[in-house]
Each structure stands twice: as C-alpha cells, then as structure tokens.
Amino acid sequence: MSYHQKNVAVSLCSGLIVLTLYSIIVIRLYYDGRFDGPGAHWLVGWSPFAMFTGGIALTIVLHILSTIYRTVRKQEEEPFITDERDKMIELKGLRFSFFAFCIFFLAVMGALALNLMGPYTVLLFVVGGLYVAGISGEIVKLVLYRRDA
C-alpha cells in the first residue's frame, strides 16, 4: 500500500466514523422532536459546522496515528511523491463525489417537492449527503489505486 493509498484509507475511515456519529445524533434529536421546536434552526445551522470540525479533527488524529504506526512498523520513511497518476486518481474521485452529491441532492429535493420531508430534514440530509459524496469519492480512489496496482 502506497503513501497515498494509506491516506485515502485513513480519510475513508474518518469519514465513515463521522457520518455514523452524525447519523446517530441527528436521528436521536429527530425522534426527540428537537427539529420541531423553536431552536430547530439553530440545531440545523450548527450541524454542518460541528460535523466538519469533528471530521477535520478526527482525520488529523487518524493521520498522526497511522504515520506513527507506519514509521514504527517499517522503520523507514516512505517518499512523499505526488505524481500525475495520483493527481488523475484524485480528480476522478472528486468527479465521482460531485456526481454522487448531485444525484443525492436531486433525490432529496424531489422528496421536498413531493412533500415527503420537511425543510429542516432536507437540510440535514444535504449536509449528510456532502459526507456521503466525499466517502464515495474516497472509495473510488481506493478502487482505482487497487485496480492499477
């Protein structure tokens, strides 16, 4: 596994952890009726900030831990080279994330148009969708790295 593959794997792990935590918290708040009360807009507004801040912090911690583990285990530093193939894989992952988010966004807006969800629920889904799209992009990157190796 190359340096970039390991980084993608770490980002994927942190994304999955953050998305799981976010889903658990939001579902719990939803069933507690917190999105119907007067402070609902505050909760919805802060949810992406909490999610992205938590996500960034967790990613940094996981990167540090994985770097320590790799250095201790291998006793050598791997060269940090980002070449054209890494950039191409990065772009393909980003493109897939974008399309995944567009499809997710349209599906959620369709649900709003059909009155299947409330506006706050839709906003929460959109925030979660950003992370789902990011995770799907990381999976694509990992698949491309594994397929060409």
Residues found near another protein in the complex (CB under 8 A)? 2-5, 79, 81, 83-86, 145, 147-149
- Angstrom distance (rounded) from CA 116 to CA 119: 10
- Shortest distance (Å) from residue 66 CB to another protein: 18
Q: Which is nearer to another protein, 28 or 87 (CB)?
A: 87
- Shortest distance (Å) from residue 58 CB to another protein: 27
Q: Which is nearer to another protein, 114 or 149 (CB)?
A: 149
Q: Which is nearer to another protein, 5 or 66 (CB)?
A: 5
Query: How many Cα atoms within 13 Å fall on the side-chain side of residue 19?
Result: 18
- Angstrom distance (rounded) from CA 41 to CA 52: 18
Distances (CA, A) of 2 to 24, 58, 109: 33, 21, 39
